[in-house]
Amino acid sequence: MSDLLVLKDLCKWYGAYQALDHVNLEIPRGSIFGLLGPNGAGKTTLIRIINQITHPDSGEVLFDGKPLNRDHIRRIGYLPEERGLYKSMKVGEQALYLSQLKGLSHQEAKRRLEYWFEKFGVSGWWDKKVQELSKGMAQKVQFIVTVLHEPELLIFDEPFSGFDPINANLIKDEILQLRDKGATVIFSTHRMESVEELCDHIALIHQSRKILDGNLNAIKKAHKSNTYEVGLLHDNPQDLKQELDTMFTTREAVFRSLGEELKLRIALENGTGRKELLSLLNSRAEVTYFNEVIPSANDIFIQTVNEQAGGNGQA
């Protein structure tokens, strides 16, 4: 059983509005899974279904091969987009309360909390009220509470919004460590670039439907357009550009460099390899920069949306 979570044909309606439209997903065990899409696409609804906060109108969720039930709650850790703590409650008491609600015993929760508080350097905050904490400190406490019961599945909705860069990095590292220990992680966000580097699998959600999913590298390979960005030093850049224009489709490229070279984005026709391009360029000018353009998740998203819109338009 390689998939920790399988979503089958999920549909969810809010009155006349359909929030999820026959969504199928498999989330591999031990993966970092990016659930990507713009605001209002249905990501949060999907996550709330996994957390049993709402229930699908049709379809099924399998957790570890079994239909989702209340016992699974303690195996899931969830950091919602709308997150916070009781302001007038003491930090330690609050953390104990929230972890006990997840099913930990009082002693066990206390033991683990002491470990994590030590690790994050917040031990001195145990008896402080949340309203006395800085925002960064409260976020650390929030994170600790999410992972304290050592869940097999961790779900972060808009994980880095509201975190300052230092905390965001700290938490990224912790999440990666948890993954290495065997946890499966779902990141849900509309800021695709913020999690792209972390994810090995992604699913793109758009207008209540899944439009694409799979291994991120595979997806990128499938979507790359055989385009290269090059920097060329030449005595007469205008002539060089005109010559290249006759052979390839080119555009001006923008990247940071120190020289005054000609910057071009060259799209190769099918048939031409990067080796041939590189040797051609080498024979004409001094190559200072050569980089294959890999589409970002954002590019892939826009491309897929456009393709499907075009397809639908013709149908």
Q: Closer CB to another protein, residue 54 or residue 308?
A: 54
Q: Which residues bind another protein (CB under 8 A)?
A: 12-15, 48, 51-57, 69-71, 73, 76, 78-80, 82-89, 97-98, 100-103, 142, 145
Q: Distance (Å, rounded) from C-alpha 148 to C-alpha 302?
A: 37
Q: Please, what is the Cα angle at 200 between 194 and 205, to 5 degrees?
A: 65
Of the candidates 146, 143, 130, 137, the residue with the CA atom closest to the CA atom of residue 85:
130
Q: Closer CB to another protein, residue 93 or residue 245?
A: 93
Phi/psi for 184 (5° steps) reads -100, 140
Least distance (Å) from another protein to the CB of residue 119?
21
Least distance (Å) from another protein to the CB of residue 146?
8
Tokens of 121: 């350097």
Q: Distance (Å, rounded) from C-alpha 187 to C-alpha 213?
A: 14
Contact 133, 165 (CB under 8 A): no
Q: Closer CB to another protein, residue 71 or residue 292?
A: 71
Least distance (Å) from another protein to the CB of residue 205?
19
Least distance (Å) from another protein to the CB of residue 19?
10
Terminal CA-to-CA distance of the chain, rounded, Å? 38
Contact 163, 22 (CB under 8 A): no
Least distance (Å) from another protein to the CB of residue 67?
14
Q: Closer CB to another protein, residue 86 or residue 290?
A: 86
Q: Closer CB to another protein, residue 85 or residue 216?
A: 85
Q: Please name the residues in contact with 86: beta carbons below 8 A apart, sequence gap of 6 or more.
A: 94, 130
Phi/psi for 293 (5° steps) reads -80, 115
Tokens of 191: 């800021």
Least distance (Å) from another protein to the CB of residue 245?
52
Unique residue bearing structure tokens 């055989």: 226
Least distance (Å) from another protein to the CB of residue 140?
15
